[in-house]
Amino acid sequence: MARRPTKRQRIEPRFEPDEPGSLDVRLSADDRAAKPSKAKPRRRKSPSSGKASPAKAKAKSNARRKRGSARKRRGGNGGSRIGRFFRKATYWSLVAGLWAFIGFVGLMGYYAAHLPPPSEWEVPKRPPNVKIVSQSGQLVANRGDTGGEAVRLEQLPAYLPEAVIAIEDRRFRSHFGIDPIGLARAVFVNLAQGRLVQGGSTLTQQLAKNLFLEPDRTLSRKMQEVVMALWLEQNFSKDQILEMYLNRVYLGAGAYGVDAAARRYFDKPARYVTLKEAATLAGLLKAPSRYAPTNSPDLAEDRARTVVLAMKDAGFISDRDAKDAIAASATVVAKSVGASNNYVADWVMDELPSFIGQIDKDVIVDTTIDMDMQRAAEEALKRKLAEQGGKLGVSQGAIVTLDRNGAVKALVGGRDYSKSQFNRAVNAHRQPGSAFKPFVYLAALENGLTPETIRVDEPVTIGKWSPKNYSRKHYGAVTLTQALSYSLNTVAAKLAYEVGPKRVVETARRLGISSPLQANPAIALGTSEVTPLEIAAAYVPLSNGGYGVVPHVIRQIRTVDGKVLYARNGDGPGRVVDPLIVGRMNRMMSETLQTGTGKKASLGERPAGGKTGTSQDFRDGWFIGYTNQLTTAVWLGNDDNSPTRRATGGSLPAEIWKETMLAEHRNVPVAALPGIVDEPVRVAEPGNAGPVPPGRIGEDQGRIVRPEPGRGPLNLLQRIFGG
């Protein structure tokens, strides 16, 4: 028997071959604490398997490596936890996204429920534009809420809408009205920057906002914008949406739509803009006032460069096109908002409803305006007022020119439209002073007097009224030609008394004066107020041979498709003055420019007639004159009716009239004034001269009186500055 081991001595199992008589301590399955239920019987190793062979050890090692690799591919023990985390995160993200989508749809449904039914939705009409053009087709002005014409997409150069798409909504052609990618990018960029840097609205959303919604920045408005954008995408093509957008978007300076903006900044229609100009316009969309080339040229240039690079990045233009566009300049036209053609446009808009009623579509108005004459009149008024206005205490003025038929060729309603839009040429009622005297003399000639009739210039009292001459002097016996030429107030008052104030009023009415006139002796000195337009029109019969005219500026009104809505026909009331009287009046009126108060207005070899006018206390200064072709009236004064510093009609108004008429008559042939030219007549006392104390005619009633230019009893001061 084997010896019992001592205390603490460990009994190890032995695996050597059994020896006879030795104790067998090998363990079997029955020796385990818990017997497995379905354990396979372990194969007993042979005595020779105590050590594995090298081949088997290598195979086991390879198997272990493969099992480790498989565990790594499955994430291993540690990796399995990360994998489970990502699987759960993905799952819950999808769940959250689904619920967010459901909430978004529900929110849209909620706000959509507060909108009218889709069947009632309708794209509002674009506000109509009125395009006003000159007699030669040049643009005078655009009027309406937009400031430009509606243009079709195919009328524009391709790079203009492409510039807008490149910088505002590059996926416009592919999204469904909302751009999730662009929205996500905008959110990420704005969060990263900590401020609003990018917007997520598509062009369709912007159009929906412009068409249907108020500009307030609320969740309700934003959700309604989304609903409307989806509706637009369902009911209109991409090209239709883009066209509506380009015609309605605000681009600064009161310009709505690309055509209005192109005209405002570059003085050309949108269809003719260059690539650089198109990029400049597209750059305005971000902030019209900030990037307007008229306000900040450098910022506008930088923004246009950004747009060009965006177009290249989007594949709309080549590298070469981009380089050329960046190197090019977008020439901004310094178009003054104070240009006088705006007075013409305002007058046209006032007249338009009386011809075609309510304007509900784009129309083109053909006018009688000659743009060369318009510019000449404007330049003359502005320059002369700048030179002498301060010295003479004159702050405002107006000019109007008409042709033989009453067509307005030029109209300047004030010194600077941007500072005052009041149209003085059409709406200012001012005292004409001595410029009203031709109607008195015309009535006298029609009553039997002649240019050679003599009246005495001397103190006179009619009732309680005692008119005075400008010079405060009297010169005795003078012909009517001389009296008119030197603007003698006493003689004019006598003549008005002779023929009767009512007859003077009737004569003025017949020639075209429509303002209220007071039929009293003082009417001879122009105490009743008139407008520059109407008194100019009343002078036209002396220019055209005696035919009355209706002053007008509109020739034709038509739609953009060519349909004629109105066309002018007829020239006026017909003959209003006998040709013989016209000839005699022109003989007298031309003397004013040769020897009288209108010498500064002389046109040299070109025959012309005219009359100065100065109201009481020098509040108004006038010169109204004409040739065979044109009639022009010039008024100067102050809007508050304050006196000027002795600015008479024969001074600054005459100078402005001359400069304007010389410019307007360039390349116009010289022509004699109309009317029958008769021989000077013998002086005779009119039978109905009336008691005009102490007026009398010359003593030698049989002599021939011939007016001699440059001679007369009046002094030099009276000739130059009188009346």
How far is C-alpha 56 from the geometric centre of its chain's CA atoms? 96
d(CA 664, CA 119): 59
H/E element holding 718? helix 716-721
Instruction: List, in order, residues 6 or more apart from 337 with CB less than 8 Å away.
Output: 417, 418
Instruction: List, in order, residues 6 or more apart from 516 with CB less than 8 Å away.
Output: 528, 529
Residues 687-718 as b or e (16 or more Cβ within 10 Å = b): eebeebeebebbeeeeeebebeeeebebeeeb
Active-site entry in 134, 149, 162, 168 = 168
- The CA-atom distances, in angstroms, between 324 and each of 166, 247, 308, 318, 328 are 18, 27, 10, 10, 6
In DSSP notation, 498-548 reads HH-HHHHHHHHHHHT--S----SGGGGGT-S-B-HHHHHHHHHHHHHTSEE
d(CA 183, CA 496): 83
Q: Where are the alpha helices (DSSP H) in 332-418?
A: 341-356, 371-384, 390-392
Task: State yes or no: is 340 an active-site residue.
Answer: no
Instruction: List, in order, residues 6 or more apart from 572 with CB less than 8 Å away.
Output: 405, 406, 547, 548, 549, 550
d(CA 630, CA 543): 7
**Is residue 199 classed as helix, strand or coil in its secondary structure?**
coil
d(CA 554, CA 568): 7
> Which backbone phi and psi does 508 adopt, to 5 degrees?
-65, -40
Burial class (CB in 10 A: 0-12, 13-18, 19+), 121: middle
Instruction: List, in order, residues 6 or more apart from 646 with CB less than 8 Å away.
Output: 392, 618
Task: State yes or no: is 19 an active-site residue.
Answer: no
d(CA 180, CA 174): 11
d(CA 246, CA 258): 6
Contact 244, 123 (CB under 8 A): yes
Residues 97-120 as b or e (16 or more Cβ within 10 Å = b): eeeeeeeeeeeeeebbeebeeeee
**Is residue 564 classed as helix, strand or coil in its secondary structure?**
strand
Give the single-character DSSP code of 182.
H
In DSSP notation, 141-176 reads EEESSSSS----GGGS-THHHHHHHHHH-TTTTTSS
Instruction: List, in order, residues 6 or more apart from 431 with CB less than 8 Å away.
Output: 526, 527, 528, 529, 615, 616, 619, 620
- Please identify which residue in the block is written with the tokens 């102490």: 694
Active-site entry in 134, 434, 487, 651 = 434
Contact 258, 247 (CB under 8 A): yes
Contact 723, 612 (CB under 8 A): yes
Structure-block tokens of residue 681: 């007549």
Structure-block tokens of residue 188: 């990420």
d(CA 591, CA 609): 7
Amino acid at residue number 456: V
Q: Three-state secondary structure along 72-123?
A: HHCCHHHHHHHHHHHHHHHHHHHHHHHHHHHHHHHHHHHHHHCCCCHHHCCC
Known catalytic residues are: 168, 434
